[in-house]
Structure 1
Amino acid sequence: MTHATTAAARIPVSPRYLAGSDGGGEAAFALLTGPRWHKRQDEWGNYHAFGDQGRLHIGLIPGYCEMVEPIGLWHIEARHECGAPTVWRAAMSEHTPPEIIAAFTTALGADAEVGGDRPAYLSSTGHPDTVWRLLTEAGWRVSVSGFAIRAMAPDLLAEVTHTPPRHGPAFEQAREEAWQVEVRAGDEGEALWWAEFHSATPAHLIAAFTTALASPEPLWRTQNALPPQVRCLINGV
């Protein structure tokens, strides 16, 4: 087999969070179908899915936009009605595996299908403990430090942190993006990818994302699509 053929062959990547992006976002949009969803591409090359009468927005935004906060390639927002202020938002960076994002958007789409005046994606459904229980069952180590709860992957390369906003003298230190997910190739350097979720994001949606994050099922990539700094860390490469 030639080197070119080897580089183009698809291989299973485990742990899956080291796979990075496959260069597309189709997986995250694939199940957002039916009359409740409208998809379009704008003149800047950004791709959008609007759902449930404009109450949901999922955006793949390659170009930097100063009106978007927090900064990231992926943006997901929920509102009580079209044009209203956001109830919660989420953002993911460029190399976030779209298959993991798809777990979140699939759960979001299921909520939208149920519909109603108070859909599950606008309710405080589930409890944060659900997230920690699922990660513990997957072999992650959960610890508490001050107001924060953290779960570390067995290889210490991925972590999930929850720091809920709190009132009082330390309120100015609280973050609205209470849920943080970060994946690294080691102790030094920038994160391979990250995700942030607003404190009002329903726990069952966070659980969908973290369940996909910690799943033992590999993701399939070509070797030349893998981040160079993680190739030595991936089983089977």
Structure 2
Amino acid sequence: MTDTTDGSRIPVRPCYLAVSDGCADAAFAPLIGPRWHKRLDEWGNYHAFGDHGRLHIGLIPQYCELVEPIGLWHIEARPHRHAPAKWRAAMSDHTPPEIIAAFTTALAADVERGGDRPPYLHDVGCPDTVWRPVTRAGWQLVVSGFGVRALAPDLLAEVTHTPPRPGPALEQAREEAWQVEVRTSDEGEALWWAEFHSATPAHLIAAFATALASSQPLWRTENTLPPPVRRLINGG
């Protein structure tokens, strides 16, 4: 799946097997300009607040009273700084920052548009927007009575959508209607995961999905990759 071109860094294909290299700069890089404020809190967590406090992107390795204790990455959008979140997204610690950056880049573009009705709060969009980039990349779409799942050609990555349903089943529907999981085999825990609330705009999830399904490699130092990933990318 990959070939070594130098002695220290290798191109990892498919890119979702790269996992995080411990550097979060790529995900925060698009969040620049006067509409964004970044700070390190007293617990050692890093935050970016945008669009007058309506957006929060947090890298939360430690306890933080601002977020629920799930995942390493937290993204929230709210109508105003004191309102409850309209939607949330979370990603685990091994999520490649370059893939998260596709999401934050799209989010930053929404902020730049300005106005009282930013797309990240008002354009929920159609789920088909998410499926297009993965199906173009050769992923298989599976439709069931409970939702839709897209599987990567190697079956190691998937995107699922389980929307809320009317009737009694609505109470059982997950608010995190969109889920992404990457594995190194059919068994065992996910290598990394991401989840998005049902109200997360589809164009933002589509940006994430486009990066997820990209044919471009991510470059990593081999010793930062877990052993199962090393075996996969070296054809073992």
Same fold per superposition (TM over 0.5) = yes
Q: Secondary structure at the match of 1:40?
A: strand
Conservation of the 8 A alpha-carbon contact between 2:124 and 2:199 = no
Distance 1:102 1:229, change over 3 A: same
Conservation of the 8 A alpha-carbon contact between 2:15 and 2:214 = yes
Q: Secondary structure at the match of 2:185?
A: coil
Q: Secondary structure at the match of 1:210?
A: helix
Q: Secondary structure at the match of 1:72?
A: coil
Query: Equivalent residue for 2:166?
Result: 167
Query: Equivalent residue for 1:57?
Result: 56
Bigger Cα displacement from structure 2, 50-59 vs 121-130: 121-130
Conservation of the 8 A alpha-carbon contact between 1:153 and 1:159 = yes
- C-alpha distance in 1, partners of 2:63/2:234? 34
Deviations 1:81-115 (A, max 9, x none): 01110000000000000000000000000000111
- C-alpha distance in 2, partners of 1:235/1:119? 44
Q: Secondary structure at the match of 2:208?
A: helix
Query: Equivalent residue for 1:203?
Result: 202
- Could you tell me the percent identity over the aligned residues? 78
Bigger Cα displacement from structure 2, 116-125 vs 43-52: 116-125
Deviations 1:166-207 (A, max 9, x none): 231212220000000000000111100000000000000010
Whichever residue aligns with residue 197 of structure 1, its letter is F
- C-alpha distance in 1, partners of 2:64/2:72? 10
- C-alpha distance in 1, partners of 2:125/2:96? 25
The TM-score normalised by the length of structure 2 is: 0.94
Query: Equivalent residue for 2:3?
Result: none
Are 1:29 and 2:28 an aligned pair?
A: yes
Whichever residue aligns with residue 113 of structure 1, its letter is E
Conservation of the 8 A alpha-carbon contact between 2:120 and 2:201 = yes
User: Moved runs in structure 1, 4+ residues, more than 6 A?
Assistant: none
Q: Secondary structure at the match of 1:86?
A: coil
Considering only aligned residues, what root-mean-square deviation do their CA atoms show, in Å? 1.6
- C-alpha distance in 2, partners of 1:60/1:204? 22
Query: Equivalent residue for 2:218?
Result: 219
Query: Equivalent residue for 2:110?
Result: 111
Query: Equivalent residue for 1:91?
Result: 90
Question: How far is the alpha carbon of 1:124 from its aligned partner?
Answer: 2.6
Conservation of the 8 A alpha-carbon contact between 2:43 and 2:64 = no
Deviations 1:54-84 (A, max 9, x none): 0000000002457633600000000000111
Query: Equivalent residue for 2:180?
Result: 181
Whichever residue aligns with residue 176 of structure 2, its letter is E
Conservation of the 8 A alpha-carbon contact between 2:45 and 2:64 = no
- C-alpha distance in 2, partners of 1:69/1:199? 17
- C-alpha distance in 2, partners of 1:160/1:185? 15
- C-alpha distance in 2, partners of 1:229/1:205? 30
5+ residue gaps, structure 2, are: 1-5
Q: Secondary structure at the match of 2:86?
A: strand
The TM-score normalised by the length of structure 1 is: 0.93
Q: Secondary structure at the match of 2:132?
A: helix
Deviations 1:92-144 (A, max 9, x none): 00000000000000000000011111100001343111211221110000011
- C-alpha distance in 2, partners of 1:55/1:189? 37
5+ residue gaps, structure 1, are: none
How many residue pairs get aligned? The number is: 231
Deviations 1:4-38 (A, max 9, x none): x94xx011000000000010210000121100000
- C-alpha distance in 1, partners of 2:133/2:69? 27
